């Protein structure tokens, strides 16, 4: 026990010293990365969002902000949508990260703060338990303000729906709660997707959801479309939850019903992430949390998996293999291979599992704009150059990368956020929601994703209007063609006499035919 306390003190000491060391170092790590990508970042030569002469390097379109936040870069393939985002998304160039010796400048501390620190949110949740086709249960938590008397939203509402996918461990973080609060203040209907057994969802089957299996999410989206047919659907994922969102968008393609999506601090190459692992304090905490969540189902899970192997595993890979790579799952693996080491040595089952669950396996089928917000000092994802597929953003016009020099994992703390923390806590959050006015405590990443949704929606609306105008000029107006078609359908119906005895005869004929 003593060695654990000593190790924890060392980690805290390193986390406190590291920000100042990086700040007063000789070179900013973001400068080295952007220079490796061929992007110049000198303040005197940097180009703002309004600039018309944007330089293109290695097929990437990069927006460099002003001197105060010049570590932000938008990396994507040049396109009309990319130019529209550069012009209308001002938040992309207004990021001012915390620097110096304050704790918010530490990537580790602000990441732990956003993931573990409690948040007194004025938002309440109304839960819908959805029974799936295999009798499993998932849950949708609809966020509503505490002052709202009406707990349910009408199905005739045209408000956009924001589907939020938390991390794959089921932890509802401070970041998710703040996102629900911000989305409500901007007129969205936030809904948090909870997987089987996550966040108090009952486990009615012995089947758990695999890392990148979008079957349960597909049924949840169908329910949302049934409940809110008039509203647009947007999606946001957090951390490892991005694997599920990217898998869903890749498998469904143009039938995803999603207008645009955002991934906050995503983990792209998930197999390598599980194999290489995190730093031991973070991995130890995640493994312990997952074991605590699964311990309540130890008896029922023992019917299909070997729980002794599961609860003696010391790594995230060991847990994932014990849950999904044993008998009854992809690639049957004997238990003798794991009793000593706590990790399955049969790489065939492990590779077969990720062939079906790797988030980027069907990335070419994605048909909507997807924005990824990442920080170079992310302690969870790992090294930027080896964990972010930069070639994907350079070649695929649907993917956009907003890369910041600092921000940690789902942190993105700003100087204004740190200086006004006390003032913001004193202001009533319920009053801010009631007035619909954006508070100064809103996270920069949340402002950026909401601007991205608005800009992409406006861009596609303008494109649709331009297509309709061009069709009318060619004499092929879609509205006129629709009226002609409806007129023809009515005229054919008039040929059948609408008499009661004819209707009864047709009904009797149908009954005799079916018999």
Task: Report the C-alpha gap between 354 and 144 in whole angstroms.
Answer: 37
C-beta of residue 63 within 8 angstroms of C-beta of residue 92:
yes
Angle made by CA atoms 44, 49, 54, in degrees to the nearest 5: 70
Q: Which residues pair with 189 in a beta bridge?
A: 161
What SS3 state is found at 233? Answer: strand
Q: How many residues does the chain have?
A: 515
Active site residue 409: yes
Selected catalytic residue, list 378, 394, 398, 446: 378
C-alpha count within 13 angstroms, C-beta hemisphere, residue 140: 23
Where b means 16+ CB within 10 Å and e means fewer, 433-443 reads: beeeeebebbb
Task: Report the C-alpha gap between 430 and 122 in whole angstroms.
Answer: 6
Contacts within 8 Å (CB) and 24+ apart, 271-277: 271/350, 271/354, 271/358, 272/387, 273/381, 273/382, 273/387, 274/316, 274/317, 274/320, 275/317, 276/382, 277/315, 277/316, 277/317
pTM listed for this prediction = 0.76
Kindly give the pairing relationship between strand 370-375 and strand 260-264.
parallel
What SS3 state is found at 404? Answer: strand
Q: Which residues pair with 137 in a beta bridge?
A: 131
C-beta of residue 153 within 8 angstroms of C-beta of residue 125:
no
Sign of CA dihedral 84, 395, 371, 142: positive
C-beta of residue 67 within 8 angstroms of C-beta of residue 93:
no
Active site residue 378: yes
DSSP code of 194? E
Give the pLDDT of the chain (515 residues) as one tens digit per residue: 444 444 455 455 454 444 444 433 334 444 444 444 444 333 333 333 333 334 444 444 444 334 343 578 999 999 999 999 999 999 998 898 887 777 888 888 989 898 888 888 889 999 999 999 999 999 999 999 877 765 666 667 889 999 999 999 988 999 999 999 999 999 999 999 999 999 999 999 988 999 999 999 999 999 999 999 999 999 999 999 999 999 999 999 999 999 999 999 999 999 999 998 788 888 999 999 999 999 999 988 888 888 899 999 989 999 999 999 875 444 344 433 333 334 445 568 999 999 999 999 999 999 999 999 999 999 999 888 889 999 999 999 999 999 999 999 998 988 776 554 443 333 334 444 443 434 447 889 999 999 999 999 999 999 999 988 888 888 765 544 444 434 443 333 333 344 444 434 433 444 444 44
Query: Which tokens hold the place of 71?
Result: 């570590």
Task: Report the C-alpha gap between 236 and 62 in whole angstroms.
Answer: 23
Q: Which residues pair with 56 in a beta bridge?
A: 61
Selected catalytic residue, list 198, 398, 409, 446: 409
Which domains can be identified in the chain, with CATH numbers? 70-268+362-415+442-462 (3.40.50.1820), 271-326+352-358 (no CATH)
Q: Which residues pair with 194 in a beta bridge?
A: 139
DSSP code of 452? H
């Amino acid at each position: 026990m003593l060695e654990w306390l000593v190790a924890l003190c060392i980690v805290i000491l390193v986390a406190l010293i590291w920000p100042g060391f990086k700040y007063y170092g000789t070179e900013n790590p973001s400068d080295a990365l952007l220079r490796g990508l061929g992007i110049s970042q000198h303040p005197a030569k940097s180009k703002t969002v309004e600039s018309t002469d944007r330089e293109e390097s290695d097929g990437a379109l990069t927006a460099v902000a002003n001197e105060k936040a010049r570590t932000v870069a938008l990396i994507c393939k040049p396109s009309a949508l990319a130019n529209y985002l550069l012009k209308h998304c001002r938040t992309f160039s207004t990021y001012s990260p915390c620097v110096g010796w304050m704790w918010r400048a530490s990537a580790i501390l602000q990441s732990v703060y956003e993931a573990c620190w409690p948040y007194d949110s004025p938002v309440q949740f109304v839960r819908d338990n959805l029974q799936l086709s295999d009798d499993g249960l998932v849950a949708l938590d609809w966020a509503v303000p505490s002052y709202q008397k009406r707990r349910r939203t009408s199905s005739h509402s045209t408000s956009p729906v924001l589907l939020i996918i938390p991390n794959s461990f089921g932890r509802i973080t401070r970041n998710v709660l703040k996102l629900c609060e911000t989305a409500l203040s901007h007129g969205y209907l936030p809904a948090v997707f909870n997987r089987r057994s996550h966040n108090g969802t009952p486990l009615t089957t012995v089947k758990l959801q695999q890392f990148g299996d979008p079957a349960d999410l597909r049924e949840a989206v169908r329910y949302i479309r049934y409940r809110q047919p008039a509203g647009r659907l947007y999606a946001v994922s957090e951390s490892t939850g991005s694997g599920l969102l990217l898998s869903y968008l890749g498998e469904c393609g143009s039938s995803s019903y999603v207008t645009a999506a955002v991934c906050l601090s995503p983990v792209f190459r998930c197999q390598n992430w599980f194999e290489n692992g995190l730093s031991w304090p973070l991995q130890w905490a995640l493994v312990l949390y997952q074991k605590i969540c699964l311990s309540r189902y130890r008896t029922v899970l023992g019917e299909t998996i070997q729980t002794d192997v599961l609860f003696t595993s010391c790594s995230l890979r060991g847990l994932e293999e014990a849950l999904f790579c044993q008998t009854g799952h992809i690639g049957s693996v004997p238990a003798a291979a794991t009793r000593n080491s706590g990790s399955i040595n049969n790489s065939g089952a492990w590779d077969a599992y990720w062939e079906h669950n790797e988030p980027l396996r069907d990335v070419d089928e994605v048909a909507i704009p997807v924005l990824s917000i990442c920080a170079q000092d992310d302690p969870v994802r790992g090294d930027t150059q080896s964990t972010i597929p930069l070639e994907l953003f350079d070649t695929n016009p649907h993917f956009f990368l907003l890369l910041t020099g600092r921000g940690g994992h789902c942190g993105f703390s700003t100087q204004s956020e740190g200086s006004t923390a006390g003032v913001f806590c004193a202001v009533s959050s319920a009053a801010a929601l009631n007035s619909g006015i954006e508070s100064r405590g809103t996270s920069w990443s949340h402002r950026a994703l909401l601007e991205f949704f608005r800009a992409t929606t406006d861009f596609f609306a303008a494109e649709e209007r331009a297509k309709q105008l061009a069709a009318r000029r060619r004499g092929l107006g879609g509205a006129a063609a629709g009226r002609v078609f409806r007129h023809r359908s009515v005229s054919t119906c008039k040929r059948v006499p609408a008499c009661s005895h004819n209707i009864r005869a047709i009904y009797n004929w149908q009954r005799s035919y079916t018999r």
